[in-house]
Amino acid sequence: MDKTGIIKPVLDASYPMISHGKGIYLYDEKGNRYIDGSSGAVTANIGHGVDEIADAIHEQAKQVAFVYRSHFTSLPAEKLAKKLASMTPGDLNWTFFVNSGSEATETALKVAIQYFQEQGIYTKTKILSRWTSYHGITLGALSMSGHHMRRERFSELLEDFPAVPAPYCYQCPLQNTYPGCRLKCADELERAIEQIGPENIAAFIFEPIIGAAGGAIVPPPGYYEKVKEICDKYHILTIADEVMTGMGRTGKMFAIDHWGIEPDIMTLGKGLSAGYTPMAATVVSDRIINVIRKGSRVVMSGHTFSANPLSAAACCAVMEYMDQQNLVQNADEQGERLLNGLKELEQKYSFVGNVRGKGLLCGLELVNDALNHAPFSVSDRVGEKLISICFNNGLIIYPAFGGVTGYEGDAVLISPPLIVTSFQVYEILRILDESLQELMNHLVSSGIVIHRATS
């Protein structure tokens, strides 16, 4: 093992040394080119090496790179907050800036609880969430995450917030079929609320489209309308976790816009800065802030780098670039092209069980039995093998494992930067096709049985 001093994802693994990036492409020091087919961790929304962002960072750094939020505000932070208020749905007009998605969801947790405390309600301390979800790696965010593999090492430290099945039609945890199910997965939210007691629940947090925990799982029509109705009925806040899905990724500025729902709190990250700086945000509604303003007048949260002017300037430049290049519309158009191409691969390979997604957040689920939707065994490491093959072929895709049982379930995300062109989409699909064929050969030679569905 190379003793570089960096704790890498796998300690004894070897990783290529990055040289530079341009557009949707990354290059290592040996000159190998990779298509960033996952935008890193679904983050690099405007691609790599954009001069306008580097120039904005440089100009801000010459003025001031850091001030502490208790001493000063800054023009970039004020400008960014105003821009977000003009874009977010409903009365989401107040932004608390943090450094990562985990911090954003944890801040949302705190704000939701504080909202009720300011009204003299101290029993509402639980945040309900769904199984097959991921909201971050800090302890509060992990408590809200319904992902067994990530939770198990720290389970004794975590709250038991996940209580609701995911709207996962392909692998329905309730063994139902849409539309005959009549959205029983949403009814389960009401059942959980009544069981736990609405007087104990502050909020329900959800990813509008489930990302890393399931691979771009899109709920059936009517689901979020019913969820919002239930939460309003029991005076429970709704938190839309848009860390992965926001900022144009799904072909609309925010994924929740596909359903016309106005959450009480929204979290952003990843695409907010497009990877050019660590930055995330918790966006809060007028009605929540008005309650706090009449009470303590202080949102009880804070980080040294909150509302950092250098990061805010980078985010403002990213958003201006997105507007100028019309990237939300491009995500919608190219996403349709990508999804159609993936569906063709679904028809070609029997172990591609399901293709789904919206915009440029697409998922591909691998199964051992397409007829019964049965997953591969965890020990087969099929998803990992596909990611490795793709990487060796010059295409980077993203893991979304464990969605079926918490451990079993091999899905991957294909989510290139929003600048991707039609030609590049076909290039991604070509490499993915070659990689799936290589995976098929591996499965056959390894003696892993693949059951072919019959019509």
64-73 pLDDT per residue, tens: 999 999 999 9
| pLDDT at residue 12, as a whole number | 85
Q: DSSP 3-state assignment of 195?
A: helix
Q: In angstroms, rounded to a whole number, what is the distance separating the alpha carbons of residues 41 and 6?
A: 19
| pLDDT at residue 393, as a whole number | 98
| pLDDT at residue 300, as a whole number | 82
Q: In angstroms, rounded to a whole number, what is the distance separating the alpha carbons of residues 450 and 294?
A: 62
Q: Are 34 and 27 in contact (CB under 8 A)?
A: yes
Does the pLDDT value for residue 452 go beyond 80? no
Average pLDDT over residues 274-280: 98
Q: What token pair was written down for 241?
A: 């976790």
Average pLDDT over residues 277-282: 98
Average pLDDT over residues 387-391: 98
Q: In angstroms, rounded to a whole number, what is the distance separating the alpha carbons of residues 438 and 432?
A: 10
Q: In angstroms, rounded to a whole number, what is the distance separating the alpha carbons of residues 243 and 281?
A: 9
Of the pLDDT bands very low, low, confident and very high (cuts 50, 70, 90), residue 1 is very low
| pLDDT at residue 268, as a whole number | 98
Average pLDDT over residues 430-447: 95
Average pLDDT over residues 135-142: 96
* Residue 287 DSSP one-character state: H
* Residue 375 DSSP one-character state: P
Does the pLDDT value for residue 455 go beyond 60? no
How do the residues of the chain divide into helix, strand and coil, expressed in percent and rounded to 5?
Answer: 40, 20, 40
Q: Tell me what percent of the residues of the chain surpass a pLDDT of 90.
A: 93
Q: Tell me what percent of the residues of the chain surpass a pLDDT of 70.
A: 98
